[in-house]
Amino acid sequence: MSVSENKDNIPLDYQIIGEMIDSGARILDLGCGGGDLMAFLARSRNTRGQGIELNESAVYECVKKGLNVCHGDIESGLLEYPDKSFDYVILNQSLQEVRRVDDLLENALRVGQQVIVGFPNFAWIGSRWRLFFQGKSPVTAALPYRWYDSPNVRFLSICDFREFCLRKGIEMLKASYIRNGKTVSCRPNLLAELAVFLLTKAHFSERRSM
């Protein structure tokens, strides 16, 4: 499936994640919501695995879809898994809700061979425009919540995340950027609403990467 196509109204970030994953892979979806991504990957890539989700209603939706899901907090839920239990650990639209990002990604890279991270880009030009000209916290398609009801506790840009990975010795194997249902190739920190990265643990230390 080409990432330039939006077949059957499948979100483009789902399609991109699907292309990053090997067929038949074992996956762990952290903050899996109602299981739409897990169900898509099971259909399109024949994946096996499970999700972790805190919201009870979303857990019930996963169960209705026949998906294997655990009710729990993703920040503490990884501790019980042995090293390299999964081929891929997925954090799609969940990272911005995490308080201890460094600890979570360290554990995700321990549990999974590779990690896929997708998040809204706070430095997108639309967010900058609203903040600069209106003086208000951005509300966009990628950041749909207002400041008082948002589950987000992190507001990061693509440049922020790249710098974080460099400091933490995390290697970026692939990166894709999205705006209005299409991929972005030019100046993604300014022009992309969403980013999706395929990560692995690099072979150099945090000290050397700084």
CB hemisphere CA count around 43 (13 angstroms): 13
Inside any domain, residue 19 = yes
Q: Which residue has the higher pLDDT, 196 or 144?
A: 196
- CATH number of the CATH domain containing 100: 3.40.50.150
Q: β-strands 194-201, 112-120: how paired?
A: antiparallel
Whether 111 maps to a domain, the answer reads yes
Which of 39-43, 46-50, 147-151, 174-178 has the weakest average pLDDT? 147-151
Given a cut of 70, whether residue 172 has pLDDT beyond it is yes
* Share above pLDDT 70 across residues of the chain, in percent, rounded to a whole number: 87
Would you say residue 153 has pLDDT above 80?
no
If you average pLDDT over residues 156-177, what whole number do you get? 96
In a domain, 179, yes or no: yes
Contacting residues for 149 by C-beta, under 8 A, at least 6 apart: none
For residues 130 and 142, give the distance between their C-alpha atoms in angstroms, rounded to a whole number.
Answer: 14
pLDDT above 90 (res 159): yes
73-110 confidence digits (pLDDT tens): 998 889 889 999 999 999 999 998 898 999 999 999 99
The answer to whether position 128 is within a domain reads: no
Q: What is the dihedral of CA 94, 139, 12, 119, to 10 degrees?
A: -30
pLDDT at 151: 65
CA dihedral over 83, 110, 73, 86, signed as positive or negative? negative
Structurally, how many domains does the chain consist of?
1
What is the domain extent for residue 33?
A: 7-121+153-201
Residue of higher predicted confidence among 107 and 139: 107
Alpha carbons 105 and 82: distance in angstroms, whole number: 15
Q: Which of 136-150, 158-172, 195-209 has the highest mean pLDDT?
A: 158-172
Q: Would 209 be classed as within a structural domain?
A: no
- Tell whether 134 is covered by a domain: no
User: Using the 8-state DSSP alphabet, how is residue 15 labeled?
Assistant: H
Is residue 146 one of the residues assigned to a domain? Answer: no
